[in-house]
A and B are shown apart, each in its own frame.
Chain A
Amino acid sequence: MKKYSFSMAITIVLCMVLLGLCMGIGSVEITAGDALKIISCKVFHRPLPASIDRSTVSILWSIRLPRALTAFLAGGALALSGVIMQAVLQNPLASSYTLGVSSGASLGAAIIIVTEFTFPVLGRFLLPVFGFAFGFGTVLIVLALTIRFDASMHSNTVILIGMVISLFVNALMTLVSAFAGTHAQQLLLWQMGSFSGKRWYHTGILLPVCIFGLILLLFYARDLDIMSFGDEQALSMGVNVHRSKLVLFLLASLLTGITVCFCGTIGFVDLIAPHAVRKIYGSFHKRVISMSFFIGGAFMAICDMISRTLFSPREIPVGAVTAIAGAPFFVWLYLRGNKR
């Protein structure tokens, strides 16, 4: 760990600087000095200097800051979820969507959008709550079926049942989409992912979930290390594989589910961040977990910044940016690894 401490600290600082840059870049230019003044005045409840325009304050504090932070946290949450799935399933290509959480969440959201169902108590949380409930429900079905067919929850069984249920739920989703009519575009945009319109309450929900996920995952870091060698070896070394798998799958589903229902389906971050971290810092999970969170977060914040500035004022779906940037990067990482 000590060997990597310095480079890990540098990387975390770099990720924070990138996050700051993402907040500053946009159609309205905000200098670093102004941004720091605005943030410090807001945080410490001090009066704002008269030299700073009120609209600048509003753009930075009410729009860019929560949006960039939400993107960062969503990227971090997806990366953590990817770390879990890859280690537990002993498959470097497994993703946080393997258990069908995004398919389920998309179906839940689609039903709400198409039926125009309302539930006043939930207000603006209606879509995320239903998305999350459907996503989590799908994961529970996948896990229940896996345990039913294979009590030891072998990785191949989990992947296979996850795939089958995802395909089935996707088919239902297509069926619902066929009746979308005027809502088709809204549905499509939701599925492609976006951080547009994200406010402090989104950040406020994602932050505790991410902190909880990080702490729980660091607690399970050694279990992940051992489980990545296979179930039999993990059992032999004293890991309660069945319990650890259940806890970790549910945690991965929580992290992915909360992200998908707030921001839509955004791919590649969960795949790339853990891969990149393993190439740089090795596979020891105490390092992989913390660094994947920061690198995944920074990657998502940059992709979101690109999505809103590349064809400004028109915004493109962030899922498209992560895929366009992520696919070649992943191929490069993979080939680089093979050359070694």
Chain B
Amino acid sequence: MRHGSENVKNPDPERTDTAGVYAVSVQNLHAGYGSREILHDLSFQIACGSSTVILGANGCGKTTLLRALNGSLSSTGRIQILGQDLAKMKRKEIACAMSMMSQISSVYFSYSIRETVELGRYARSRRTGLSSHDRDMVDQAIEMTGLGDIQDRQISQLSGGQLQRVFLARTLAQETPIILLDEPTNHLDFRYQAELMDFLKSWLKKKTSMPDGTEVNNTLIGVFHDLSLAAGIATDMIFLKDGKLLKQGHKGEVLTPSILSETYDIDAASYMKETWGNFLQELGDPDR
């Protein structure tokens, strides 16, 4: 990931096998709602196979950035997905390359868990019905999210955490090499947070076949509010402030108290020492 590079060739060719292109390349991106611009002139690249976490204070434009990357928000500038111009791609082509799990909202109509996950196959399956490969992908997604035993249950009867897992399963069933996650751990308890993180780490080591047969390294782009989860999953980070790119780079280079202080307008070093330090001290020896 490099800022403002004109050359969109991947600097680390070992991390991708898709003809050296980036998973996502953004140049001079401006986006917002109506006349209100939220994102101002962002430029960055995200390498295939990386896990990039977007960090920033509330309202700085993290979700807006995910929406713009997914093409669900009109924007100006240039966005490329796996080397293709987003503006020239059809919706189904985008949905074969990139899926997005939004923050969960109200469910107006009730479907069974399996029916909901099957909808994730929309872009890849035919209108006439699901193929055996489609069903296999749905089965895998349901198993991976631990929903196998309750797959016939109606989603209106589920807790927030279970619903979150259903939407994650649907996102996985979409079978895309790039996944955008908007606060995926919001409704999950400690156990499922840990399971999700483990799952995402193993998913990141794999590749996904595109409809044309090309194998692409899996890439994750996520918004996490919990810094410990963000640090646990990220290889790269993007810091946003007031809709502008504050900093980006490999986690080890940019996850520093000074950048956190600048991002969140707090004395990050003191806060982390007080809260995390005390917590870790209270937790004591993990083997006890």
Contact = CB atoms under 8 A, between A and B. Distances in A.
User: Size band of the A side of the interface?
Assistant: 20 to 34
Nearest to B129: A1
Instruction: Give the interface centre of B102, B111, B119 by most chain A CB atoms within 10 Å.
Output: B119
Nearest to B63: A232
Nearest to B102: A232
B82 to A, nearest CB: 16
B242 to A, nearest CB: 23
A271 interface: no
Interface string A215-235: 000010010011011111101
Interface stretch (A33-41, A201-209, A237-245): A237-245
B71 A222 contact: no
B190 to A, nearest CB: 27
Contacts of A92: 108-109
A228 B109 CA distance: 7
A237 B112 contact: no
A282 B72 contact: no
Nearest to B156: A340
B111 A283 contact: yes
Contact of A233 (B96, B102, B154): B102
Contact of A238 (B91, B102, B115): B91
B72 A231 contact: yes
Contacts of B50: none
Instruction: Give the interface centre of B102, B108, B111, B154 by most chain A CB atoms within 10 Å.
Output: B108
Contact of B122 (A87, A152, A222): A222
A228 B107 CA distance: 8
Contacts of A199: none
Contact of A91 (B108, B123, B127): B108
Instruction: Give the interface centre of A87, A239, A241, A278 by most chain B CB atoms within 10 Å.
Output: A239
B72 A232 contact: yes
B109 A283 contact: yes
Contacts of B132: none
B81 interface: no
Contacts of B102: 230, 232-233, 236
A155 to B, nearest CB: 10
Nearest to A90: B108
Given A151-B74, A226-B122, A232-B67, A237 B174 contact: yes
A221 to B, nearest CB: 9
B124 to A, nearest CB: 8
Interface string B93-107: 011100110100101
B91 A282 contact: no
A125 interface: no
A237 B118 CA distance: 11
A284 interface: yes
Contacts of B94: 238
Interface of B: 67, 70-72, 74, 90-92, 94-96, 99-100, 102, 105, 107-112, 115, 119-120, 122-123, 127, 154, 170, 174
Interface of A: 86-87, 90-92, 151-152, 219, 222, 225-226, 228-233, 235-241, 278, 282-284
24 contacts: A87-B109, A90-B108, A92-B109, A225-B119, A229-B107, A229-B119, A232-B67, A232-B100, A232-B102, A235-B71, A236-B72, A236-B95, A237-B95, A237-B120, A237-B123, A238-B92, A238-B95, A238-B96, A238-B122, A238-B123, A240-B91, A241-B91, A283-B109, A284-B111
Q: Which 7 A-B pairs have the closest CB atoms?
A: A238-B95, A238-B123, A283-B109, A235-B72, A236-B100, A238-B92, A240-B91
